[in-house]
Chain A
């Protein structure tokens, strides 16, 4: 048993924390209040290799492991949830399936551009009528000669309207249920493909969440991702990995809120002394810190299993379930410790409270995570 991060992982944490505090934190409030996509930050991150973190160098990636990716997500979310979710959709949901299921030609064509940040990626699975029940996908893809013709609609797609490339799922064999779904690579500007409106959200306001429309959108046959009718299986695997990233994001948000609450409790004086002297506050701080530590171990274990090439479906679901619900409790207490000030935008814990709420929904709700865990237990 070894709880020590490797030299590389420690150096990555230090570098990402340094970058996050100096570059991202100063504009995090503005990113939220103005709902402004942090283009400048994303470009800076791209230059440093953030956008291709876990992919091999031969595809333009940094060749880091999944524990490092989790650490990076955690450190970014610690200061800004919007930036973290943008990176998650790009890396874990768009580049990852191309890396896992793409042909060599697809990997060579897309990964270098995605890893360098020249292109931004998105993943289109959810539809108005297909959320937790992803098998209810209505978007259709019909083969026509050397092309696939796509018709349908996606919603709640992170990076949707700004993405240069989107991985989408569509029904290719209507009679076969979940075994009749395939994944496709669609490039921005393809006739018949257009983004709809960007949604207004409760939190993560600096990230982009869009509708996508496909009307007789024709893409070349070679844009089928991996094998036909394996789309459902592919996105289950993609989401297993994505859940580690979302869990790491919830972890970072909780950590950020906790640190603010801890600092505030030492400064805030009531009844003639700092409120951290009161047991009511101390117990909250102790619970917050304990839960964050437990969550961190779950997240790193899931990432470590993935790095070892071992099964991690159950562990990723556990990490995501526990960490996202833990983040709710921790951010709630962080506001409670701040009292009235915590309810005000100035102290930032209210933003973290709003931002973390997505983590118990996106990439599989808590209820779906429980289903995944139970299935693994009972198989």
Chain B
């Protein structure tokens, strides 16, 4: 079994502030973390490895410091890690990012599953995973809540997807791409032995030239979408209607009536 996990290093959004003048994120001094949704993808890959044997490769496109995120995945137990880093990748939108990751996956070669988090907490698009599957021409199983079974003989996988109305059981052929939701597992902590291995590991960096990519399809040039402006929406004016009553039951009744009158429920 070979699982490839695509991860992203993101600013710890609990500590990010927005520059009100320029409308950009103030990233100075803000710690970077592995995108939390991606940690579930890493964990799921490690669980597959524990069950079926094989190996887990983690890749990330980002600036040189994104190597920290890859090392964290190695400390958790990933076997190999590759950083895709080149100034030419900068400014990529989700499509160009998916193309770059897809090119790296083609260069890696054989794999059974690709795992991604459902979305990154900074961009919140949830498009890169599906973009990779589309560009590779393989099936995508999004919002996976549980991997029920993998049959390597028949080359199939059966998963439960979290959909709005409930759960959906889907079977796909391998190889395929999964994006996972946070309820799928509980990511492990790295062990000290894992940390020591990761700290020493030399993680290879692949540049655009090494990956043989089409320069017109990467970075800002290869991005069909552009970010025109980032801004904080003005705070909404709200009105507070305080419900007072003699008992909680009475208060609940008044509230229910108001909500019904407003057609909220």
Chain B residues within an 8 Å CB radius of A64 = 192, 196
Chain B residues within an 8 Å CB radius of A19 = 189
| Partner-binding segment picked from A4-12, A212-220, A232-240 | A4-12
A258 to B2 CA separation, bound complex (whole angstroms): 47
Q: A269 an interface residue at 8 Å Cβ cutoff?
A: no
A49 near B192: Cβ-Cβ < 8 Å: yes
A6 near B193: Cβ-Cβ < 8 Å: no
A14 to B71 CA separation, bound complex (whole angstroms): 12
Name the residue in B72, B195, B196, B200 with the highest tally of chain A Cβ atoms < 10 Å from its Cβ.
Answer: B195
B193 near A57: Cβ-Cβ < 8 Å: yes
A49 near B191: Cβ-Cβ < 8 Å: yes
Chain A residues within an 8 Å CB radius of B200 = 8
Tell me which of B72, B189, B191, B199 contacts A8 (CB under 8 A).
Answer: B199
Q: B198 an interface residue at 8 Å Cβ cutoff?
A: yes
Return B41 CB to nearest CB of chain A, in Å.
Answer: 18
Q: B91 an interface residue at 8 Å Cβ cutoff?
A: no
**CB proximity to B under 8 Å, residues A31-63:** 47-50, 53, 57, 62-63
A18 to B31 CA separation, bound complex (whole angstroms): 13
B190 near A15: Cβ-Cβ < 8 Å: yes
Chain A residues within an 8 Å CB radius of B199 = 6-8, 11
Return B58 CB to nearest CB of chain A, in Å.
Answer: 15
Chain A residues within an 8 Å CB radius of B75 = 11, 15
A contact patch SS: helix
Chain B residues within an 8 Å CB radius of A57 = 193
A151 to B196 CA separation, bound complex (whole angstroms): 44
A11 near B193: Cβ-Cβ < 8 Å: no
Tell me which of B71, B72, B193, B198 contacts A62 (CB under 8 A).
Answer: B193
Return A177 CB to nearest CB of chain B, in Å.
Answer: 41
> Could you give, for residues 141-180 of chain B, a 1 whenever the CB lies within 8 Å of some chain A CB and a 0 otherwise?
0000000000000000000000000000000000000000
Tally chain B residues at the interface, Cβ within 8 Å: 13
A49 to B193 CA separation, bound complex (whole angstroms): 7
Name the residue in B71, B72, B192 with the highest tally of chain A Cβ atoms < 10 Å from its Cβ.
Answer: B192
**Which residue of A is nearest B67, CB measured?**
A7
A8 near B195: Cβ-Cβ < 8 Å: yes
Chain B residues within an 8 Å CB radius of A50 = 192
Name the residue in B75, B189, B193 with the highest tally of chain A Cβ atoms < 10 Å from its Cβ.
Answer: B189
B71 near A53: Cβ-Cβ < 8 Å: no
A62 to B193 CA separation, bound complex (whole angstroms): 5
Return A74 CB to nearest CB of chain B, in Å.
Answer: 15
Return A332 CB to nearest CB of chain B, in Å.
Answer: 29
**CB proximity to B under 8 Å, residues A145-204:** none
A14 to B31 CA separation, bound complex (whole angstroms): 11
Return B182 CB to nearest CB of chain A, in Å.
Answer: 14
Chain A residues within an 8 Å CB radius of B195 = 8, 11-12, 15
Chain B residues within an 8 Å CB radius of A63 = 192-193, 196
**Which residue of B is nearest A57, CB measured?**
B193
A63 to B200 CA separation, bound complex (whole angstroms): 13
A62 to B189 CA separation, bound complex (whole angstroms): 15
**CB proximity to B under 8 Å, residues A229-255:** none
Name the residue in A18, A48, A50 with the highest tally of chain B Cβ atoms < 10 Å from its Cβ.
Answer: A48
Return A303 CB to nearest CB of chain B, in Å.
Answer: 16
Chain B residues within an 8 Å CB radius of A53 = 192
A11 near B189: Cβ-Cβ < 8 Å: no
A11 near B71: Cβ-Cβ < 8 Å: yes
Chain A residues within an 8 Å CB radius of B71 = 7, 11
Chain B residues within an 8 Å CB radius of A6 = 199
A18 to B34 CA separation, bound complex (whole angstroms): 13
A19 to B71 CA separation, bound complex (whole angstroms): 17
Return B133 CB to nearest CB of chain A, in Å.
Answer: 31
Return A286 CB to nearest CB of chain B, in Å.
Answer: 19
**Which residue of B is nearest A65, CB measured?**
B196
B189 near A15: Cβ-Cβ < 8 Å: yes
A11 near B72: Cβ-Cβ < 8 Å: yes
A114 to B262 CA separation, bound complex (whole angstroms): 65
B196 near A48: Cβ-Cβ < 8 Å: no
B72 near A48: Cβ-Cβ < 8 Å: no
Chain B residues within an 8 Å CB radius of A12 = 192, 195
Return A54 CB to nearest CB of chain B, in Å.
Answer: 10
A48 near B191: Cβ-Cβ < 8 Å: yes
Chain A residues within an 8 Å CB radius of B191 = 47-49, 62
**Which residue of B is nearest A47, CB measured?**
B191
Chain A residues within an 8 Å CB radius of B193 = 49, 57, 62-63
**Which residue of A is nearest B200, CB measured?**
A8
A57 to B192 CA separation, bound complex (whole angstroms): 11
Chain A residues within an 8 Å CB radius of B72 = 11, 14
A351 to B1 CA separation, bound complex (whole angstroms): 50
A47 to B198 CA separation, bound complex (whole angstroms): 18
Chain B residues within an 8 Å CB radius of A49 = 191-193
A48 to B195 CA separation, bound complex (whole angstroms): 11
**Which residue of A is nearest B201, CB measured?**
A7
**CB proximity to A under 8 Å, residues B170-220:** 189-193, 195-196, 198-200
**CB proximity to A under 8 Å, residues B49-73:** 71-72
Return A20 CB to nearest CB of chain B, in Å.
Answer: 11
Extra contacts besides A11-B198, A18-B189 (17): CB < 8 Å: A8-B195, A11-B71, A11-B75, A11-B190, A11-B195, A11-B199, A14-B72, A15-B190, A15-B192, A15-B195, A19-B189, A47-B191, A49-B191, A57-B193, A62-B193, A63-B196, A64-B196
Q: For the complex of A and B, list the 7 residue pairs with the smallest distance between their C-beta atoms, beginning with the closest.
A: A62-B192, A8-B199, A49-B192, A7-B199, A11-B195, A49-B191, A48-B191
A-B contact pairs, 5 of them (CB 8 A): A11-B71, A15-B190, A18-B189, A19-B189, A62-B196
